[in-house]
Amino acid sequence: MEYFKVNKYSSVDENILYISNNIIELLKGNEKEFGKLVEQYEKKYFSEISVNIEMSIYLAMLFLFGIGKIKVNNKKIKLVVK
pLDDT digits (tens, 9 = 90+) for 1-12: 455 556 565 666
Query: What does pTM read for this prediction?
Result: 0.80
- Residue 71, strand partner residues: 78
Average pLDDT, the chain: 83
CA distance 35 to 14: 19
**34-43 CB contacts, 8 Å cutoff, 24+ apart:** 34/61, 34/75, 34/77, 37/61, 37/77
Contact at 8 Å (CB) between 72 and 32?
A: no
Query: Fold for domain 12-79?
Result: Arc Repressor Mutant, subunit A (1.10.10)
Q: What is the pLDDT of residues 56-72, one digit of tens each?
A: 889 999 999 999 999 99
The pLDDT tens digits of the residues spanning 2-60 come to 555 565 656 666 788 889 999 999 999 889 999 999 888 888 887 776 777 888 889 99
Q: What gap in Å lies between CA 44 and CA 24, rounded to an integer? A: 13
- pLDDT score at 51: 76
